[in-house]
Amino acid sequence: MTITEKILSGIKQTLETGDQVKIDLREASAITGSGYGVGGRTYFDDAFAALRFANPIRQAARVIPAQGSAVQFVAKTGNAASQTNPWTYTFTPNSGTPNTDTSIWQLPTRVITAQLPIRTAVMSDVNYLNETIVEDLAMEFASIEGASMILNNDQSGTTTTTTGGTNGLRGLNYYTSAGTAAYGSSGYAITDGIHSIATVSQAGASIAYDDIVNLCNALPAPYWSCMGNAWMMHPNTIQALRKLKGATGGAPMFTEVGDDDGGAVAYVFGFPVIPNANMETIGAGKFAIYLACWNRFVTIADVEEMTVQAMEQTQAGFITLYAEKRMVSSVRDPFAGVRLVGV
């Protein structure tokens, strides 16, 4: 019986009888020799899961529930009003160029699986272990999906199993680079919906203040006042911006002094900065910075069920937990985000 179980049992007993109850909190370990010296008596603090970069995109992107084995995205394109003369009371259905159309693309939901063998003695010994395992499993799944959402090429590279390859998500870095954003091909094939993202080339090998200005200017003006705007970059890139100075030296371009929030590079040009360790660092051919109205730019669809099963017969003395979750992500509005690429 764990310490928690002993306390709860004692509380129940005193409530029923009204008698004073003494609770022996000395815990004999179920793991032989786990204590200091002979006897194996050890106090176990509550278990906890180490913090990690789960998936920073989730805190800014649009997240929706989903069902089934695939998710279809539909974008209305073109203009609804007659561009010839919309300034009259009379409708002329056979004139003008409404050009109302849709672009569709469909992506299969992807599955992430995990297997956790745990010694039965540990589960009875360590407090709060069950809840910690579930918490850590959720964070690990989020960490895996976060890397795939940026770095994975779903068109090839099946040997790249860490980010998924053809079994993973469509990574942001593998959308087409262009001077102007555009929707990808419309259809149901896995090659459809690979949009073009407006990409700004870094002027030199090192990041410069003008690179940040040019990237901000590349974001279409209608999105400047979007509530979901944020920069996303690797912590090393944030460090480079903190050290950024003018051509003649002097104070850094982004400093704690004068920042409304009191933090260095917590905001740039009024937009918050989200650290994301899955982003690439500054370098030739690497996408170091994204600026986007994330709740329009990226959509994450989570299948509304997660499977967890415990199997006791896989190995003597162990309980093995099997878990899986399904989800998919996509750039939904390619005009809502821009990125910087190194040269």
CA angle in degrees (0–180, nearest 5) for 12-16-19: 95
Q: What does the pLDDT average to over 326-337?
A: 96
Indicate whether 49 pLDDT > 80.
no
78 pLDDT tier (thresholds 50, 70, 90): confident
Q: Is the pLDDT of residue 86 over 90?
A: no
**Could you give the CA distance from residue 113 to residue 141 in angstroms, rounded to a whole number?**
8
The Cα 44–Cα 4 span in angstroms is 11
**Angle formed at CA 146 by CA 142 and CA 147, multiple of 5 degrees:** 125
Determine the pLDDT at residue 166: 93
Give me the phi and psi of 75, to 5 degrees please. Answer: -120, 130
Look at residue 258 in the predicted model and tell me its pLDDT.
Answer: 44
User: Percentage of the chain with pLDDT > 90?
Assistant: 48
Q: Read off the pLDDT band of 94 (50, 70, 90).
A: low
Residue 197 has pLDDT above 60, yes or no: yes
Report residue 31's pLDDT band, with 50, 70 and 90 as the boundaries.
low
Q: Which residues contact 53 (CB under 8 A, 6 or more apart)?
A: 143, 146, 275, 276, 277, 278
Q: What per-residue confidence (pLDDT) applies to 198?
A: 98
* pLDDT higher than threshold 60 for residue 52: yes
Tokens, residue 89 = 């009371």
19, HSE (Cβ side, Cα atoms, 13 Å):
6
Where are the domain boundaries for CATH 3.30.2400.10 in the chain? 56-76+102-341
54-63, 129-138, 303-312: range with highest mean pLDDT: 54-63
Give mean pLDDT, residues 82-96: 68
Radius of gyration of the chain (CA): 27
With cut-offs at 50, 70 and 90, classify the pLDDT of residue 20: confident
Q: What is 56-76+102-341's CATH topology? A: Major capsid protein gp5 fold (3.30.2400)
pLDDT at 257: 46
- The confidence score (pLDDT) of residue 302 equals 93
Compare 5 and 186 and report the one with higher pLDDT.
Answer: 186
Q: What is the mean pLDDT of residues 304-325?
A: 81
Average pLDDT (55-70) is: 93
End-to-end CA distance of the chain: give it in Å, rounded: 62
